[in-house]
Amino acid sequence: MFTKILVANRGEIACRVIKTARKMGIATVAVYSDADRDAVHVEMADEAVHIGPSPASQSYLVPEKIIAACKATGAEAVHPGYGFLSERASFCEALEKEGIVFIGPKPRAIRAMGDKIESKKFANAANVSTVPGWLGVIENAGHAEKIAGEIGYPVMIKASAGGGGKGMRIAWSKAEVRDGFDRARSEAKSSFGDDRVFIEKFVVDPRHIEIQVLADAHGNALYLGERECSIQRRNQKVVEEAPSPFLDAKTRKAMGEQSVALARAVDYQSAGTVEFIVDSEKNFYFLEMNTRLQVEHPVTELVTGIDLVEQMIRIAAGEKLAIKQSDVKLNGWAVESRLYAEDPYRNFLPSIGRLTRYRPPEEGQFGEIVVRNDTGVTEGSEISMFYDPMVAKLCTWAPTRLAAIDAMSEALDSFVVDGIEHNIPFLAALMQHPRWREGLISTAFISEEYPDGFAPIVPDSEEKAVLASIATAVELLRRDRLDRLGGRLAPHSGALKRDWAVKIGEDYLSASVLEGMISIPMELDLSIDGGKALTVMSDWRPGDLIWRGTVGDRRIAAQIRPVLNGFRIAWKGMSVAARAMLPRTAELERLMPEKVAPDTSKMLLCPMPGLVVSIAVAEGQEVKAGETLAVVEAMKMENVLRAERDLTVSKLKAKPGDSLAVDAVIMEFA
């Protein structure tokens, strides 16, 4: 076994590998760029080596710097994590020449499976079912149009060296093929240094299901069940689960055995993932093989009890697999939510900044529920524009699927993140979506259910009663605390006011205190809008970020943030401003004029912090609805900004190469 390994990655996956290495008694070396000087993975490792400037192309993607760090520290092996150099065969060969072990598969397997074009050719030769497509070199956009016409629309344009949804476009027409081909090549070049793309038939409403495999150097190979990864946005996974609610035992076995056969065919030696698309009739087609650890590996670990990082290290050290296929049992259900630094209310545009608050839910086993959070940040960490926007991976396990989903819902409601925009409201709303809860999903789920983007969930009457109850309980405690402060001009008389008006969003509800005392823990009986009595119980104290308790028979975990004259309550994807006040105050407030937001309809605003790649128009130019105005790059993704209506450009306020803040004016219209 190794005594010291270097982790050639950053963020949560570097921390994840370090945890297992520490458990195995192996010393670890971290590497870091300028942007990651104070990162969590640097603090966790036994040693850390600086490898260059912030851009990954000058630090994490430079093999020579990783090898130099190994030599300087005496690391015997390198774990690449995912992304960066994890699927680069030349890096694996360079390590081997220096006598350093690559904790992953051999170069031949990486070359055969890691390149999407070559893997398709290999799979075809091995009689593995694949999606119809063109695997040769595509010379230009015109050639791409011709191929797409022969295959039949819709088609998927993909970067050969791609991953994480980068360099991937769906095209439904000739025009979209031409534009998608150029964008996919551009993204592939900037993200992977390889602009080759291929085209294949896009299977409508497919599921994305992948099989986890393990294989050692002694000819042993097995599969560890599947992961359902169909909840995707822009071809990037958002929520994963294991097992899939769709597969039956027969299909699972067939997919698993095919995956193992593929792994054996390339003499695979490590953990790997074989991805399939599965249609509504349970026909499955090979998509690609990821010759590395997957982002979503924790759900497999939770349902099998097998530490995949440990298995990778043991296989790389030459050990035989200690488990057989018959030992693999899928126990219970696990769900993973990817917490991204992005604004769900602005079409999920990237967000950067400092985490002024970062307080994840407590990890561990709570009765039948397990909560796990894989992360590489802490309070005070900086979310940088240089890397992937993923902040954490929150996982829950329970004996049944719905119990795991409900556990995830409560964990998300308890996850406090301030300082950046994030997708927790969207994830929390998703956990309540009936179609998701029933398992009736496909890769088109998000685009179908949220065609106009995600908007704040509007509470129904029952949910408004819950929110009004929380707001009343919080306000009573707040006032009681103020009344007990020394030096008050008018101390509290001791009598509890019974009647209140609660503003939830734009609606006013009446709240009557039927019985109870102001104390911690609190127990109050309330009636909202004359409805039945609700018993409100909580040990919340002023200043606590999470309100935990019960309202009637509902168990609640909601986030409380102070706003002007009230509170913002976030719960199950809802986020409402709430204010409990005396009825006379509510009467007067209804008479207050509304503040009108400034008119920005004649401006193109930068929707996220990013770099201006190109400006497609000139001052005085007339443009039609749908035409490209500008392209802004953020977190390795190019975002095309188009005209929403016919207009004339009056003034350009930005130029290519400018770094803009969110809402910075790019151009003005006449």
Domains of the chain: 4-103 (3.40.50.20), 132-201 (3.30.1490.20), 208-331 (3.30.470.20), 333-434 (3.30.470.20), 461-589 (3.30.700.30), 603-669 (2.40.50.100)
Tell me the mean pLDDT in the region 208-232: 97
Query: Model confidence at 150, in pLDDT bands (50, 70, 90)?
Result: confident
Tell me the mean pLDDT in the region 195-211: 88
Pick from 396, 400, 388, 401: nearest CA to 361: 396
State the Cα angle at 628 between 623 and 629, rounded to 5°: 75
Residues in the chain: 670
Pairing of strands 357-359, 499-504: unpaired
Contacts 24+ apart (CB under 8 A), 379-383: 379/355, 380/354, 380/355, 380/356, 381/38, 381/39, 381/40, 381/354, 381/355, 382/35, 382/38, 382/352, 382/353, 382/354, 382/355, 383/341, 383/351, 383/352, 383/353, 383/354, 383/355, 383/420
Tell me the mean pLDDT in the region 232-257: 94
Look at the alpha carbons of 60, 66, 72, 74 in this order and tell me if their dihedral is positive or negative.
positive
Tell me the mean pLDDT in the region 355-373: 97
Q: Is 288 a known active-site residue?
A: yes
Q: Is the pLDDT of residue 570 over 90?
A: yes
Q: State the pLDDT at residue 599.
A: 84
Task: Please tell me the pTM assigned to this model.
Answer: 0.83
Q: Is the pLDDT of residue 615 over 80?
A: yes
Query: Model confidence at 169, in pLDDT bands (50, 70, 90)?
Result: confident
Cα pseudo-dihedral 496, 501, 504, 509, rounded to 10: 120
Q: Is the pLDDT of residue 494 over 70?
A: no
The pLDDT tens digits of the residues spanning 506-525 come to 899 999 999 988 889 999 99
Q: What is the DSSP letter of 341?
A: S
Say how far apart CA 1 and CA 95 lie, in whole Å: 18
Q: 92 is written with which tokens? A: 């694996």
Provide Rg for the chain, Cα atoms: 27
Look at the alpha carbons of 312, 315, 317, 322 in this order and tell me if their dihedral is positive or negative.
positive
Query: Model confidence at 163, in pLDDT bands (50, 70, 90)?
Result: low
DSSP string, 583-649: HHHHHHHTTSPPPPPP--TTEEE-SSSEEEEEE---TT-EE-TT-EEEEEEETTEEEEEE-SS-EEE
3-state secondary structure 406-458: HHHHHHHHCCEEECCCCCHHHHHHHHHCHHHHHCCCCCCHHHHHCCCCCCCCC
Are residues 188 and 168 in contact, defined by beta-carbon separation less than 8 angstroms?
A: no
Q: State the pLDDT at residue 238.
A: 96
Cα pseudo-dihedral 436, 439, 444, 449, rounded to 10: -30
Say how far apart CA 233 and CA 348 lie, in whole Å: 9
Are residues 342 and 391 in contact, defined by beta-carbon separation less than 8 angstroms?
A: no
Among 235-244, 420-429, 640-649, name the one with the lowest average pLDDT: 640-649
The pLDDT tens digits of the residues spanning 31-41 come to 999 999 999 99
Q: State the pLDDT at residue 557.
A: 96
Q: What is the DSSP letter of 280?
A: T
Q: 363 is written with which tokens? A: 């990890």
Q: Is the pLDDT of residue 372 over 90?
A: yes
Q: Is the pLDDT of residue 635 over 80?
A: no
Query: Model confidence at 490, in pLDDT bands (50, 70, 90)?
Result: low
Q: State the pLDDT at residue 319.
A: 98
Q: Is the pLDDT of residue 321 over 90?
A: yes
The pLDDT tens digits of the residues spanning 436-452 come to 999 999 999 999 999 98
- Selected catalytic residue, list 12, 210, 240, 288: 288
**To the nearest whole number, what is the mean pLDDT of the chain?**
92
* Residue 251: its H or E element: helix 249-265
* Inter-CA distances, 134 with 127, 216, 611, Å: 17, 33, 33
Q: State the pLDDT at residue 115.
A: 75
State the Cα angle at 282 between 280 and 283, rounded to 5°: 105
State the Cα angle at 609 between 606 and 610, rounded to 5°: 90
Q: State the pLDDT at residue 493.
A: 63
Say how far apart CA 466 and CA 472 lie, in whole Å: 10
